[in-house]
Amino acid sequence: MAREAGLDLVEVSPNTTPPVCRIMDYGKWKYQQKKKEQKARAHATKSELKGIRLRPKIDEHDLNIKLTKAREFLLDSNKVQFTMQFRGREMAHQDLGLRTMQEICDKLADVGKVEAPPRIMGRRMTMVLAPDRKPVAKEKKAESGGSGSEQAPAPQTQPQPTSQSA
């Protein structure tokens, strides 16, 4: 029947009794699956690395503004790199910079986790925070007002073509 219609005989579920087969254009189906995957990949959000620059003698209010911006970045599923620049005699007081970095970690612990701890490279101290997946999902759900009762679609198995010898 498949040959007469110019189509392929595709085994959809080989593990059932009796095995399930379908008459379809396998090349067309494979092309549609490829296009569907490309579309899903295009709509996927990509994580970026956002940078925030600091100084060791930053004021409390200025730090809070930078932390607010960092919180927005983390809620948007972006990584945040904090870079603290030391100048002149500030190099002798790196403990102040480390204390500020620790304060940043504590204040952003609810939305992010430390991916790279503070480390000094020359006159710079850098630290990277990554979004914490669980709280980010809760925050976005609260913002959108979703109930969270949606179910994920069942994964599709790829049918295997069978030989058409009859």
Beta pairing class for 79-85 and 49-54: parallel
Backbone angles phi, psi at 130, to 5 degrees: -110, 150
* 105, two tokens: 């970690």
pLDDT tens digits for range 102-142: 999 999 999 989 989 999 999 999 999 999 876 544 555 55
Q: 50-55: long-range contacts at Cβ-Cβ below 8 A with a sequence spacing of 24 or more?
A: 50/78, 50/79, 50/80, 50/81, 51/80, 51/81, 51/83, 52/80, 52/81, 52/82, 52/83, 53/83, 53/84, 53/85, 54/82, 54/83, 54/84, 54/85, 54/100, 55/84, 55/85, 55/87, 55/90
pLDDT tens digits for range 52-111: 999 998 999 999 999 999 999 999 888 999 999 999 998 898 999 999 999 999 999 999
Helix (H, G, I), strand (E, B) or coil at 83: strand
Q: What is the reported pTM?
A: 0.56
C-alpha 53/C-alpha 13 separation (Å) is 56
Structural domains of the chain, ranges and CATH numbers in brackets? 1-38 (3.10.20.80), 49-143 (3.30.110.10)
Q: How confident is the model at residue 21 (pLDDT cuts 50, 70, 90)?
A: confident
